[in-house]
Structure formats: structure tokens, C-alpha cells
Amino acid sequence: MAPTKKSGVPLLLLFLLVFFPDPLMTEGDGEQTCRLLGKFDLHGYVESTNHSLIIGGMFPIHSRIIPENESILEPVSPRCEGFYFRGFRWTKTMIHTIKEINERKDILPNITLGYQIFDTCFAVSKSMESTLSFLTGQDEHKPNFRCSAGAPLAGVVGAGGSSLSVATSRLLGLYYFPQVGYASSCSVLSDKYQFPSYVRVMASDQSQSKAIVQLIKHFGWVWIGAIAADDDYGKYGIKIFKEEIEKVNLCVAFSETIPKIYSKAKMQNAIWAIKNSTAKVIVLYSSDIDLSPFLLEIEYHDIRGRTWIASEAWITSSLIAKPEYFPYLGGAIGFAVPRADIKGLKEFLYDVHPNKDPNDNITIEFWQTAFNCTWPNSSVPYNSDHRVNMTGQEDRIYFTSDKLCTGEEKLEDLENTYLDVSQLRITNNVKNAVYALAYALDEMSRCEEGRGPYLPGNTCAYLEDFEPWQLMYYMKILKFKTHNNETLILDENGDISGYYDLLNWQLNDAGKIEFVKFGKYSFTESKFELVVDNSSIYWNTETSELPKSVCTELCRPGTRKGIRQGEPICCFDCIPCADGHVSLQPGSRECNKCHEDYWSNEDNSGCVLKEVEFLAYSEALGITLVTLSIFSALVVLAVTVVYVVYRKTPLAKANDRELSFLLQLSLIIILLTSLLFIGKPYDWSCKARQVTLALGFSLCLSCILGKTIRLYSSHRASKSKVRFTSVRPICQKLIVLVSVLIETGLCTAYLVIMPPKLYKNMESQTIKIILECNEGSIELLCSVFGFDVFLALLCFLTTFVARKLPDNYNEAKCVTFGMLVFFIVWISFVPAYLSTKGKFKVAVEIFAILASSIGLLGCIFAPKCYIILIRPKRNTDEIVGGQVPTTDRSIQLTSTSVSSEMNVTVSTVVLDD
């Protein structure tokens, strides 16, 4: 269905009444008519006769309007000043493009295009005047539709800046009148609800803002300043930039605006923000016209050492890219629309001269400004400047030149923006915009009745008489090849996909600013790609290296960012990581905990393996314990050798010689078992150490028990009045066998049900891994060693009873002392063992093993060895058996041998046969 045609009568009448408030006039026989009571002061180029269709154009041929005297109350159409060479080139490009289209036979055959171009002067008011003139015509009396004598207007190219396009498109959109933008990138223009008839041949600021953020991320900047012109282009551009930069957790250090009308306070705010901020990178969204006064402030305050990120509106502007600004803006980087070469344009630009048309005031003004002369007999002012200066005072200066133009001046001698075709970017957009309208009209002209796009009936529209909305249908589905063989496609929002060139300001050998391409940003609706050549960039810093722009220096490894309340996330404190936590990368937000086998190094910048602690053979304590163990075992072995050598002597045979050998063997086992506690523990060593120790003690204690029980039975026999048979040697051996079997059963159950195993103790010390044995079932372990304790108690009780046997050599006393040493050692061991950690805990247990073993060895075998080796005269059956008194002092035992001085005749020492 076709959209309903909107009526613009009330809005147009309101606008005209505001500017021209005279009442309606009546003519003839009283018929009331509406006529224009004044004319807009519009300047430009018009060629509308003898053409089929007209294309409108709006270009900034001048840079500003002249402010009117505030004392004049009647509104008037403002006049313009400040000739803008770049805009004049755009104007000529449109004329050149239309002439080129008219000469082609493959597009709009038999149709010629005219043009109607107006000067917008970079002002919204002049742009609106141009728009109303497009809608109503030049000499019409009825403002509700176009009724000029020329050909119908097909569409409008323009209006240059974003603010101008926003204003004009709101009015043209009421009529659904096609408008093609060539330099307006403001993102709000993509809103088809507000601007239904606006399309453009350059990318939206949505893409440019994303591109700037990606570039900032690429260089690692996090603290960015933002300055924007006080218009739709600047405000919307910075708004999107802030939204995009927040998504990637970067920060805006400050955001200031450049006033459209000079304001010292606002300018000083922007300058103060730049000078006092630590941000060294600043994004600047502004047109070159609005930027000019701000640059004067930058130069006045001598602000250097900043890296400027330029928007496409000024990165290639010759108005800004002047050598005198290089100390301040040198090294600026920015995005520019694609560059192209336009065939024949250079020659067309040179084909301009005031003599060709004496009424062409624009060309005369161009000539006067370019050659700094005054054209003879011309009413065109040479130059004027009514801007407010930096002191806040309004200047009304009219320039004149004493030099008259001769007409012989040569354009080839000029170094002028108008003639510079090396950076045809927006100029190329102008050409594409004109072609966009031409291709849409061509598609409309090729429509076949019955196959058209309009309902009902699939009708067509015709170039002789079509509504604006009918042409908009073709504009929305437009796709064509440009003159440089690139495909231009408009999406549903009237925007295009494409790419930006990344440019860098550098000074060439001639002392002029050169735009060096160092990358490319390609974008579509779904993806983007940023390609940057860092090596080709010039940085305007003291070291000529990549600048840093941070609020706070990046936290070093080993620290993390701590948020400062009320400040942006880019401003933070660097907090050291806790022990056991590290941050590996600079600027980490969190510290990561090391794996359980690792610990943080001194500066918390990395995880290192924890020191593994165990009682090693190589350390001093381990060497000492190994030496003691082996030495003690050798001592026991020496005692065994003594017993073997003197095995036939009475003292060696006393109280079961075989049990003595088994006791010595058990002591060797116990002493060598301590070696299993030294060194790196393993599962097998954890199982072996406790079981071997328990079995060694059970063999040792059961042998002692066999001896003490026989002593006890002998004591009972000597005291009893009835016949009492003492324990025979075979019974002693059975006691040992049964005891060892019971202990073996308990150890087997312990190993089967819940055996000990290797355990990495990380709780005792955070910086170390203590390798120790997890003893498994404590209950089973207690039962294993509990049986040994039970044997020890039996040994002690039986020997304690028999300790006072009247004998020259009472073995019961020696065993009693040995068991006392045994209990004292192990009772002292328990609190010492529980109060120590790590390898010292193992060392305590080894000391207990060695001390108890050596105590038993010394108490039981030292007196016997003393007699056997030192007092052999006492090693006789009579003396050992107690059959003679020990009155000979020369052979008397010392106190350590526990000898009796009593003259007794009853012997309780049992001699083996």
C-alpha cells in the first residue's frame, strides 16, 4: 500500500508567518490568495530550464552567517561570510556529476537532469530556508506544494553537517521527500521513525564510535578525554562513544563541548579539563569549522603532548591541517571516509573564471579570496569577519584589498583546498549521492506496468508525474556500482557498510602535513575488522613512542586493583595479593589462588612449588639419627658376638641363651627400623615402618617376658614350702611364639582393613608440604601397639616382684631398670610427639625408638658383658649360681651390675644345661 501523503501547509505557513508576518493580501474581485511577502537571501547555482528533472543540493559555500544587529526587531534572512573552498569544491562536484550523467546513455536515457544548489553557510537557518525553497519553488504564491516554472524536483543532496541534515530532514520527511546525505554521519539520522526519507552514502557514527573504541583498545589506552562540538554531530557522536567505551570497561576522564557561538567560559572549561587531566589521549568530535576557534585556544595555552583521535569531519580538513598547528595536533590519528579519484574533476575545477558569467557572484568571491584581490566593478565584498574574538568582544571588520584582480591570475599557481584533488573523500560521497538519486530514478523509469511495486494493481510511477514517496521505494532497495567499481548498498536504515581509512598526521620534508594511511577498519552489520600497522605511526610525544593514558599506573604482577569509591573503575589502588594468591598479569582485577602443591613467591607474582619437608638422609639431623641407629645396631651386634664367643660361659647360658640371642636380634630389628622413618615417605614405607616396629617390640618384649616369668617362677619356688616347679625353657619359647603370632595377626588386620599411606600435610604450614604417613585406622594402630604395651606391663610386673631375689647376680633387677627406662622414654615421647610438627615429629619418634632400645640394651646386657669381658673371674658356676660369697673385693661387681654383698647360699639364677 502507498503511504498517505502528508500535508505540510500548517508548518510552512507557520514558518513563513514567523519570517514574514504581514497579513494575507486579496487580489482581483476579492479572491483571497496567499503570496510571499519577502524573499530568502539565498545564493547558489540553478540550472532548471530545458531539463526533465531537478536535483537539489545544499552545500556550505560559506562557513558562517553574519550576526544581525539585535536592535532590529524585524526578522530578516541572514547573510553569509567566510568563503569555504572545500564546500565550493563539493558544489562543483555535484554540477560535474550531473553533467556526466546527462552525457551517459546507459542511465536515464532521453532524460536530462538539472540542478538547484543553495549555500547553507553551515547554519540551520539557511538550511531551512533552502529546504522551504525546494518544497515551494522560487516564485510561487501557494506554499503547500511546489509550483515553480521549472522542472519538478526529484530529490535533494545534502545538507552537509549533521545538525543541518537533522533540521532539513525533519521538514522533508513530512512529505517523504528523498534526501541523500553525503557528509552527515550523526547516528540519530538512522531512525526512520523520525527521518523516514533520509538516506546517506557515508557510514553512521555508530560505526565510527565503535571503530574509535576498538582503536583505543588496540593501543591499550584506558583513560580517555572527550570533546565534542555543541551540535547534533558532536553530542550524538560522543554519546555513542561513551556507551561503547563503557562496554569494554574503559573510562572517560572528562567530557567537554566546544560552543557554536564563542563563549569564553565554555572554552576555558574545555582547556582547563585538558590541562589538568592525566588523560593524554583525547577524542575530538567536531567539524573543521567549529574546531577552528578551539584550536586558537589550544595554541594560545600552548597545550602539547596530547594524542588526538579525530572524527572523519576534520581529520583531512585543510582548514585544520596547517603546519602551524602541527606542534599541537601532530601525530593525530583518525578515521576518514574512503578516498577515490574522480576522472575529469580536476579539469572541471580549473574551468572556472569570473569572466564566464559576470553575474556569478560566488565565482567572483572565490577569485577574490583565492588571489587576495578585488574584482573590478564588483559589488561582491572582498572579505569580512564578524565573529566574536577571543577576548569576548565582537569584531565587525571589513577587509578590502588595494590590489585589483586582472583576470590573468592562474589557478595553477594556487595551493588551494578547492583545487586539491589528492584527498577526495567527502567529494567522492557527493558524487555517489547524486548517482544514488540518478540510479533510483533510472529504476523507476524501467518499471513495467502490471509489474510495479505499488498496490493495488502493481502499478508503476512515471518520471513525468510521480510522488516523492514513490521514489523513496527505489531509494530503500538501492544497489549500484560506483565509478571506482565498488558496490554501494543501502540497508533498511538508509546506511551503508564499508570501511574507514586510518590516517596519521605527519610532517613531510616540505614542511607540510601529510595524511599517512596506517590501517583500515572494515565493517558490516554483523562484524568488523581492524587492521593497524603500528610501525608507520608518528607519535607526538617526547620519546616518539606510543603514549600512555591512564588514571592510575597499571598494577604490577603480585597486586590487584582495588576500587576507589566514587571514582571511575580506571582509577584504583594497587593492593598486594594475600599469601598463597598471585596475579600473573599486570592490571589484574583479582588474585588467583595457587594450586595446593604451590605457594606464592616473595612478590606474589607467580606460584612456585611448595617446599617439601621430610626428614631426609642428607640433612644433619637425618645423618645424626642414621649414625646413631647404625652405631647402636653395631653395638648390639657386638654384644651378640660376645655372646657367641662366650656362649659356653655360665653367664651367657644363664636364663635361656636362645632367648638372649632372640632379644639381641629384636633390638637390631628395632634399631634398624628407625631407618624406615628417615627419608622421603612412600606408601610402602608407611606400611613397613609401623608394622616392623610393632613386630620388633613384640619379639623383644616377649623374650623379656619369657625371661622374667622364669625368674618369677624360680622366686616362687625358693619361697614356697611346697614343691613348685619352675618354668621350663620350652615354655619360654612358646610364650615368645604366641606373642609374636598375636602381634602378627593384629598387624595383618591393620594392613588389610585400613593401612597407613602417604599423606601431604598442607594444614600445618601453608608454605610447606609436609610429607608424612597417615596412620590409617587409629583404633587398629592402638591395638597393635597396645599389645606391646601389655607385654611391657607384664614384663615390668614380673621383674618388679623378682627384683629382690638374694643372688650374686640378679637379672630381675637389670630387667626392672630396663623396663623403667622403657616406660619413661615412651611416656615422655607422647607429649613431645604431639607438640611437634613436620620432620621433627618423626625425629622425636626415632629418638624414642633409639632411647628405649639402647636403654634395654644397656640395662640387660651391659652388666653381663662387663662381667664376661672385664671380670671373667666372676663368670663361674659357683659365683653366678650363688654357691660362694662375694667377699673378694677384687672381683666384686659395681653398683651398675646390681651385685649383692650378702652372703647367701640360695641361688635363684637358673643355669641352662
* Same domain for 298 and 247: yes
pLDDT over threshold 90, residue 906:
no
Number of domains in the chain: 4
- Reported as a single tens digit per residue, the pLDDT across 653-710 is 776 678 888 888 888 888 888 888 888 888 888 888 888 888 888 888 888 888 777 7
* Same domain for 211 and 190: no
In this predicted structure, which of 72-86, 155-169, 577-591 has the lowest mean pLDDT? 72-86
- Bridge partners, residue 59, by sequence: 119
**CA dihedral (884, 885, 891, 893) positive or negative:** positive
* Same domain for 226 and 170: no
Percent of the chain with pLDDT over 70: 84
* Residue 32 forms part of a structural domain: no
Among 546, 580, 609, residue at a domain's last position: 609
Residue 364's pLDDT band (cuts 50, 70, 90): very high
Question: Can you give the pLDDT at residue 878?
Answer: 67
Among 437, 455, 489, residue at a domain's last position: 489
Residue 910's pLDDT band (cuts 50, 70, 90): very low
d(CA 498, CA 432): 14
Q: Please give the residue that has the higher pLDDT: either 107 or 905.
A: 107
Query: Are 258 and 229 contacting, i.e. CB atoms less than 8 angstroms apart?
Result: yes
* Same domain for 599 and 628: no
Q: Please give the residue that has the higher pLDDT: either 435 or 903.
A: 435
* Residue 785 forms part of a structural domain: yes
* Grid cell locating 68: 544581525
pLDDT over threshold 50, residue 902:
no
Ranges of beta strands (E only) in 732-854 are 757-761, 768-774
- Residues of the chain by 3-state class (helix, strand, coil), percent to 5: 45, 15, 40
* Residue 732 forms part of a structural domain: yes
In this predicted structure, which of 300-314, 499-513, 704-718, 761-775 has the lowest mean pLDDT? 704-718
What CATH number does residue 685 fall under? 1.20.1070.10
Average pLDDT over residues 330-346: 93
Residue 414's pLDDT band (cuts 50, 70, 90): confident
Question: Can you give the pLDDT at residue 576?
Answer: 93
- Reported as a single tens digit per residue, the pLDDT across 846-882 is 888 888 888 888 888 888 888 888 887 777 766 665 5
* Residue 323 forms part of a structural domain: yes
* Same domain for 325 and 239: yes
- Reported as a single tens digit per residue, the pLDDT across 124-145 is 999 999 998 888 874 433 344 4
Which run of H or E residues covers position 64?
strand 62-65
Question: Can you give the pLDDT at residue 282?
Answer: 95
Question: Can you give the pLDDT at residue 500?
Answer: 92
Model pTM? Answer: 0.68
Q: Which domain holds residue 95?
A: 44-66+77-203+425-489
- Bridge partners, residue 117, by sequence: 45, 57
d(CA 844, CA 772): 14
Ranges of beta strands (E only) in 311-361 are 333-336
In this predicted structure, which of 31-40, 124-133, 311-320, 356-365 has the lowest mean pLDDT? 31-40
The 10 Å Cβ neighbour count of residue 58 is 31
* Residue 166 forms part of a structural domain: yes
Strands 397-399 and 383-385 come out as antiparallel
**HSE-up of residue 150 (Cα within 13 Å, Cβ side):** 24
d(CA 780, CA 747): 8
* Residue 834 forms part of a structural domain: yes
pLDDT over threshold 70, residue 896:
no
Q: Closest Cα to residue 253, out of 235, 236, 241, 267? A: 241
Question: Can you give the pLDDT at residue 806?
Answer: 56
* Residue 411 forms part of a structural domain: no
d(CA 59, CA 806): 136
- Reported as a single tens digit per residue, the pLDDT across 347-357 is 999 999 998 88
* Residue 396 forms part of a structural domain: no
Phi, psi of 147 (to 5 degrees): -140, 35
pLDDT over threshold 50, residue 453:
yes
* Same domain for 138 and 120: yes
pLDDT over threshold 60, residue 196:
yes
Ranges of beta strands (E only) in 729-790 are 757-761, 768-774
pLDDT over threshold 60, residue 458:
yes
pLDDT over threshold 60, residue 842:
yes
The 10 Å Cβ neighbour count of residue 649 is 20
* Same domain for 648 and 772: yes
Average pLDDT over residues 195-218: 92
Residue 26's pLDDT band (cuts 50, 70, 90): very low
- Reported as a single tens digit per residue, the pLDDT across 573-609 is 999 999 889 998 888 888 999 888 888 888 888 898 8
* Grid cell locating 566: 566514587
In the 3-class helix/strand/coil scheme, how is 247-308 assigned residue by residue?
HCCCEEEEEEEECCCCCHHHHHHHHHHHHHCCCCEEEEECCHHHHHHHHHHHHHCCCCCCEE
* Same domain for 439 and 514: no
* Same domain for 755 and 873: yes
* Same domain for 129 and 60: yes
* Same domain for 838 and 689: yes
State the average pLDDT for the chain.
82
What CATH number does residue 503 fall under? 3.40.50.2300
Strands 113-119 and 31-33 come out as unpaired
Average pLDDT over residues 525-551: 88
* Same domain for 766 and 756: yes
d(CA 123, CA 733): 122
* Grid cell locating 175: 512529505
pLDDT over threshold 90, residue 888:
no
